[in-house]
Amino acid sequence: DKLLKYWDGDKERACITPVREYSKTERASWRDVISNSGKFVVTGSHDKLIRVWEKTDELLFLEEEQEKELEAIYEKGIADMLSRSDAPIGSGVADAEAEEANLIDVADHERGTFRAYYEERAASRNPESLPPCAARYSGHAGSKSGAYVFRKVEKVRSTGLFDALLVLPFGKVVSLLVYLNEWALREWNTVLVSRIMFFLLKTHHHQIATNRTMRAVLIRLRTRLRGAIRRQKEEIGYNIAGQFIKRNHEAKTAADIYAKVQEDEAKVWEKIVGLEKK
């Protein structure tokens, strides 16, 4: 891949590329030799050049370098999408991070299949005759595309979800916002829907702000999310008020019982004193 990398021997994985801007050679590298002190590396490439790579004293942090690589992948995907309309979606993205984009593709195709089916059924003379189910969707036949995507997204961990959303192409972000609108209408995991929406707005703010077609979708999504959050707030407030009334009732009942026991005890002592006087 024309890159000079070093490996972590403990975890047996590639760490980072030491020199990002200058590590790409004109031709593939044929040979590399490490010095005895480990201070520099000499490479010989197909372009008949010998290069010396020296180790610097700059501190490198693996997590920061991985974040930079993710940002570079994301920016490269945006640039490819803007320059080439026929570029493959999700190119250069790892399988785990591209899984969500593939799920949205499947769900979009299924939604189009259902739309075509309902149009054909309405135009047909015999509405009861059902077309044969495609083998690709037989595993989740009978489930809507929005519910299918929601089940898959809900199973993703929070850390992996944000990494996948970070490298998601903007074309798939538009489709995901449509599904978020449907989930907000059905009030499915409002917390998850809100987190995904805020992350997408923060990441793709400029693209979404300049897209006129997204305005109506965002307005409906905002209205439905506010309604769902308001209903949950009222429900939580009603439950808290009910618990408060219940605690007050229990405390008052316990106080009445304790006072009655004290009165009964006082009467018993009065009777005992009266018997002793007699």
For residue 243, is it within any domain?
no
For residue 152, is it within any domain?
no
What confidence score (pLDDT) does residue 135 get?
A: 45
In tens digits, the chain (278 residues) has pLDDT values of: 677 776 666 665 555 554 444 444 456 778 888 888 878 888 888 778 888 888 777 766 666 777 777 777 777 766 565 555 554 555 544 554 566 666 667 667 767 777 777 777 676 655 455 555 544 444 444 446 778 888 888 888 777 777 878 777 777 888 888 888 888 888 788 888 888 888 888 888 777 777 777 777 888 888 888 888 888 777 777 778 778 787 777 777 776 676 666 666 667 677 666 666 65
List the one residue out of 244, 240, 262 whose CA is nearest residue 252. Answer: 244
For residue 50, is it within any domain?
yes
55 Cβ contact partners less than 8 Å away, ≥ 6 residues apart: 18, 38, 39, 40
For residue 161, is it within any domain?
no
Q: Which long-range contacts (CB under 8 A, 24 or more apart) does 269-274 make?
A: none
For residue 107, is it within any domain?
no
What confidence score (pLDDT) does residue 142 get?
A: 41
Work out how many domains the chain is built from and give that number: 1
For residue 115, is it within any domain?
no
Alpha-carbon Rg for the chain, nearest whole angstrom, is 33
List the one residue out of 49, 53, 51 whose CA is nearest residue 39. Answer: 53
What confidence score (pLDDT) does residue 67 get?
A: 75
What confidence score (pLDDT) does residue 113 get?
A: 74
DSSP 212: T
For residue 16, is it within any domain?
yes
For residue 97, is it within any domain?
no
What confidence score (pLDDT) does residue 15 get?
A: 55
Number of separate helices (H) and strands (E) present in the chain: 8, 5
What confidence score (pLDDT) does residue 274 get?
A: 67
Structural domain harbouring 16: 7-60
List the one residue out of 143, 156, 152, 232 whose CA is nearest residue 187. Answer: 232
DSSP 133: P
Decide: pTM greater than 0.75: no
